[in-house]
Structure 1
Amino acid sequence: MNNSIWKIQKKGYDQLTKNLKVQVVVVGGGIAGFLTAHELSNRGFEGVLLEANQILEGVTEKTTAFIAGLQGILYQKLNKTYGLSLAKKYFKLHENAIYEYEKLVQEHNIICEFTKLPAYLFTRKSSKSLIKEFDTLKKIGTGVNYLTKLQNVPIKINGVIKLENQAMFHPLKFLMGLPINFTIYEHSQVVHFNLKQKVLYTNLAKVEAEHIVFATHFPLFTCPNLFPFKMYQSKSYCLAVSNTQNLEGLYIEDTSDGLTLRNYKHHIIIGGGDHNTCEIKKVSPYKNLKKEADKLFNKSPVHYEWETQDCMTMDELPYIDRLNKTYPNVFIITGFNKWGMAKALMGSKIIADLMQNKQNEFYELCAINRKAAIKNPVKTLGHALNSVWNLFVSFCGVPIENYKNLKNNEGGIFLVKGKKRGVYRDETGKFYFVNARCSHLKCELNFDPHNKTFVCPCHGSLYDIEGNVLREPAIKPISVNKN
């Protein structure tokens, strides 16, 4: 089961089959692309939105849909790295996002269960870091309170920060209620582009544009800016259990792999189990989440479960900017670090302001040329070493096991007729063979036994057993042969 609670029936859109010349093209039909198209159309721009598959079915459909300023142990890091002024601005971005979401809901009469309620950041470990986070938030002037217990969730904690007037909603109902004057094309994957000429190519057509916005999950290009060395992807998991208990808040644990909790109608959504896509867990993360759910909510039945991948930057700030001075009419919006609801909305305004050569008070949070790698050398070096190691394995490692020993529903990387191949054996015993290297930067793939997919350990590209791309940055499938 990989079925999100947010999944709804949506209008379908045509595939792009003819060449176009437009003012703006937005690449990516998730929340960032959708909100950017909405904002630009409100400012008088005209254009198209291109989605490789179906709109709002990627990360947007697999979110927990928190709009909250509390995001783990973050503000003390921002204060240490960039100073208190920037940390304060980051908090203000999220407060403004809540205001803007509420305004849009009211303006367009969107029924999306938008609800304001408190957020709670809690710890089950030592309270030392949480107290430091609280002190930083107080210096920012956020109006937080420090508590020693939770009222509505039976978790034994060692401290909790409470922040009023945060928000949650149904993301797809909200987005489908927004008017967008851009023409939308589905099943129109960008397979090649020339940024100098401002031309994009799909399988069936080309689009020439005055302005290009890349709102894909992970950037589709390596150069300029070397995004694959500035970002990585993290995987996380969610369950929705049938339970009518009102939690009366949003709950966020202080660790990167900790729990998140919220209500949606007659369900409680439990998130967690985050890990780098370079790791393949031996035990299904859903099992661990289910154990937590059973303890907290008396073995309530699971009705939905889903997973997602988030783009992570070295300093936990997004990239929302012009690509560079060479390509001033090419823009990018990415790197939401698991908290994309606020950043997508405020990022759409940053992109629109850049396009109109206006100043935006939050631009410095998102600028591409900030020294994120230099400011975070340990994380940057760790990510670089992981990529180098996987490239080494790709070219030098030699599998020794025989793929014919695979049991049904198993897979892995094997030598097949002298060449490395990803191999999967389905429930009938049929073998599937794919190229063992990612089509993005040639890292060797891993097989994920829980989802029956091949995943790139370097940058998180995901393929099905037939080699089709499920998640970027890869845009090309890997060769497939069947027996």
Structure 2
Amino acid sequence: MPSIWSETTQIAPRPPLPGDLETDTAVIGGGMAGVLTAWLLKEAGVESVVLEAQRLGSGQTRNTTAKITSQHGLIYDKLTRRFGAEQAGQYARVNQRAIAEYRRIVRELAIDCALEERAAYLYSTLDEDALRAEAHAARALGLNAQFTAQTALPFPVKGAVRFEEQAQFHPLRFLAAVAEQVTVYEQTLVLRVDGGRVETDRGTVRARHVVFACHFPFVNAPGYYFARMHQERSYVLALKNAPQLDGMYYGVDPEGLSFRNAGEYLLLGGGNHRTGENSAGGRYELLRQAARRCYPDSREAAHWSAQDCITLDGVPYIGVYAPSVPNWYVATGFQKWGMTSSMAAAMLISARITGREDPDGAVFSPRRFKLPAAGANLLEDGKQTVKGLSRQLFTSGRAELEALPSGHGGVVELDGEKVGAYRDETGELFLVSTRCPHLGCQLEWNPDEKSWECPCHGSRFDHRGRLLEGPAQTHLTE
């Protein structure tokens, strides 16, 4: 189901790439990060083009909950302990600057995007100690944050951390306005990149600089981002007849919920899981149960889901793609904080391209690798990849095709072969390969979204096998 942002915004279509051309910078990806990078480069006098495989904002930007915050979960105490106060301070400063930059652009372009200042809360119903430590660490880094026991939530909490001077907005209205200022080619799929040569299905772009702002980098080497991230999905309900809160709320407990108002709606989020690990389904139903408990008079108006790239140490990768390709740049691993991180990436990458190295960018460097901070997550991601490959190579289908009921999908046996099958409510059958075309892991069925998902690196396909999101670049075979 479309998000409320998609339902209330029409972005004018752009033409595909008309053929070969040359430019200073080619930006791959027409979401928030790509469009903002092109806009900041234009302000600095640098020519660029944005190459979008589908439509502007058709990826994760349309599915965000659209919080613009420097409050990113329990991040600052962890960063201070693992990276040190200097780099933790860099993270805080860049994200606060990103909030200010959104305000500047909205003001200068007079964008009607419902930008509102709101406090951002972290809360827990289980424990206050981690919240007190987070409030202390955030204040030590110069953020306006304080511990409180008072919230507007419809249930008691052990405590919360309130961050002042945060914001929320309508992301697609903002994106549409900024995109009017830059050159965008839609329906232009990038196939491969070789140095400054960007080959698409519509022609070739030659550029001095190439920016990968496409959510998950599809070029495996160099960089090896597929081994340094995994992807997770989360779910949202838009509720009518629910109260106005005094800010944005994010639960830090396992199964924690998020809340924010958006005009007449209250957005209730949660149900997080690793992509490809939701065979039982029921994520929307968990949110509906929470809505009935918290707001019994509310009514569901819409529901949708989003996908996020999760790095090994909890910090995005923003900067030079790899040492061997110094004119390539990457913006990925935004965790659950894509709007602020998109602006942060645009600021840091545009500064680098224009020769204005930002001293606060060091903490985001893709070249970093701190084993104590990343070791456990690296091991878990490796185990998931081995499991996904083993499922594809060494396991059989889980049921006979004839046993698959209407409205359900799964990995089945057909003539002794393993296939992915979905039978719709009319009984029509759709068969696809279970092998992800990215690196060969076995796909799993997500009944909440009726999609095939890769548990290794997060590629997704619809029930017909058509590519929804990468890093895979091709559809599934039948």
Please tell me the TM-score bracket, short chain as reference: over 0.9
Answer whether contact 2:232 2:274 (CA < 8 A) is retained.
yes
Alpha-carbon distance in 2 for matches of 1:282, 1:149: 36
How far off its partner does 1:123 sit?
Answer: 0.6
Alpha-carbon distance in 1 for matches of 2:184, 2:117: 31
Q: Does 1:469 align with 2:467?
A: yes
Number of the residue aligned with 1:438: 436
Answer whether contact 1:212 1:330 (CA < 8 A) is retained.
yes
Number of the residue aligned with 1:158: 158
Answer whether contact 1:75 1:133 (CA < 8 A) is retained.
yes
Give the secondary structure class of the aligned counterpart of 1:263.
Answer: strand
Q: Write the deviation string for residues 243-269 of structure 1: whole angstroms up to 9, x where unpaired.
A: 362212111112364211111111111
Q: Which amino acid letter does the alignment assign opposite residue 36 of structure 1?
A: T
Alpha-carbon distance in 1 for matches of 2:370, 2:262: 36
Alpha-carbon distance in 1 for matches of 2:204, 2:319: 24
Q: Which runs of 5+ in 1 are unaligned?
A: none
Alpha-carbon distance in 2 for matches of 1:160, 1:261: 14
Alpha-carbon distance in 1 for matches of 2:400, 2:200: 39
Number of the residue aligned with 2:74: 73
How far off its partner does 1:451 sit?
Answer: 1.7
Number of the residue aligned with 2:175: 175
Q: Does 1:116 align with 2:117?
A: yes
How far off its partner does 1:356 sit?
Answer: 2.1
Q: Write the deviation string for residues 130-165 of structure 1: whole angstroms up to 9, x where unpaired.
A: 122122223223232221231x22221001111211
Identity fraction in percent: 32
Number of the residue aligned with 2:352: 354
Number of the residue aligned with 2:17: 16
Number of the residue aligned with 2:148: 147
Number of the residue aligned with 1:451: 449
Q: Which amino acid letter does the alignment assign opposite residue 258 of structure 2?
A: T
Give the stretch that moved more between structures: 87-96 or 463-472.
87-96
Number of the residue aligned with 2:331: 333
Match of 1:379 among 372, 377, 381: 377
Give the stretch that moved more between structures: 170-179 or 227-236.
170-179
Number of the residue aligned with 1:219: 217
Number of the residue aligned with 1:368: 366
Q: Write the deviation string for residues 411-440 of structure 1: whole angstroms up to 9, x where unpaired.
A: 111233343221111222222111110000
Match of 1:414 among 407, 412, 418: 412
Number of the residue aligned with 2:86: 85
Alpha-carbon distance in 2 for matches of 1:476, 1:76: 41
How far off its partner does 1:373 sit?
Answer: 4.7
Number of the residue aligned with 1:479: 477
Number of the residue aligned with 1:138: 139
How far off its partner does 1:473 sit?
Answer: 0.5
Number of the residue aligned with 1:4: 3
Answer whether contact 2:125 2:253 (CA < 8 A) is retained.
no
Number of the residue aligned with 1:242: 240
Number of the residue aligned with 2:249: 251
Answer whether contact 1:72 1:255 (CA < 8 A) is retained.
no
Q: Which amino acid letter does the alignment assign opposite residue 153 of structure 2?
A: V
Q: Which amino acid letter does the alignment assign opposite residue 206 of structure 1?
A: T
Q: Cα 1:383–1:429, aligned 2, differ >3 Å: closer, same or farther?
A: same
Match of 2:400 among 402, 411, 436: 402
Alpha-carbon distance in 2 for matches of 1:373, 1:9: 45
Alpha-carbon distance in 2 for matches of 1:288, 1:179: 37
Give the stretch that moved more between structures: 336-345 or 282-291.
282-291
Q: Cα 1:474–1:257, aligned 2, differ >3 Å: closer, same or farther?
A: farther
Give the secondary structure class of the aligned counterpart of 1:342.
Answer: helix
How far off its partner does 1:107 sit?
Answer: 0.8
Q: Write the deviation string for residues 378-420 of structure 1: whole angstroms up to 9, x where unpaired.
A: 1110111110111111111122521122111211112333432
Q: Cα 1:181–1:246, aligned 2, differ >3 Å: closer, same or farther?
A: closer
Q: Write the deviation string for residues 117-139 of structure 1: whole angstroms up to 9, x where unpaired.
A: 21211111121211221222232
Give the stretch that moved more between structures: 304-313 or 82-91.
82-91
Number of the residue aligned with 2:273: 275
Q: Which amino acid letter does the alignment assign opposite residue 184 of structure 2?
A: I
Number of the residue aligned with 1:260: 258
Alpha-carbon distance in 2 for matches of 1:209, 1:433: 41
How far off its partner does 1:362 sit?
Answer: 2.4
Q: Cα 1:120–1:273, aligned 2, differ >3 Å: closer, same or farther?
A: same
How far off its partner does 1:325 sit?
Answer: 2.7
Q: Which amino acid letter does the alignment assign opposite residue 3 of structure 1?
A: P
Number of the residue aligned with 1:314: 312
Q: Does 1:292 align with 2:293?
A: no
Q: Cα 1:309–1:330, aligned 2, differ >3 Å: closer, same or farther?
A: same
Q: Cα 1:300–1:42, aligned 2, differ >3 Å: closer, same or farther?
A: same
TM-score (norm 1): 0.95
How far off its partner does 1:16 sit?
Answer: 2.3
Q: Which amino acid letter does the alignment assign opposite residue 64 of structure 2?
A: T
How far off its partner does 1:181 sit?
Answer: 4.6
Answer whether contact 2:409 2:420 (CA < 8 A) is retained.
yes
Q: Which amino acid letter does the alignment assign opposite residue 21 of structure 1?
A: E
Q: Which runs of 5+ in 2 are unaligned?
A: none
Q: Does 1:37 align with 2:38?
A: yes
Alpha-carbon distance in 2 for matches of 1:355, 1:256: 40
Alpha-carbon distance in 2 for matches of 1:182, 1:145: 40
Answer whether contact 1:314 1:372 (CA < 8 A) is retained.
no
Alpha-carbon distance in 2 for matches of 1:364, 1:382: 26
Would you say how many aligned residue pairs link Structure 1 and Structure 2? 476
Q: Which amino acid letter does the alignment assign opposite residue 153 of structure 1?
A: L
Give the secondary structure class of the aligned counterpart of 2:4.
Answer: coil
Q: Cα 1:470–1:182, aligned 2, differ >3 Å: closer, same or farther?
A: same
User: What is the root-mean-square deviation of aligned Cα atoms in Å?
Assistant: 1.6
Alpha-carbon distance in 2 for matches of 1:70, 1:182: 30
Match of 1:460 among 443, 458, 465: 458
Alpha-carbon distance in 2 for matches of 1:363, 1:461: 29
Give the secondary structure class of the aligned counterpart of 1:376.
Answer: helix
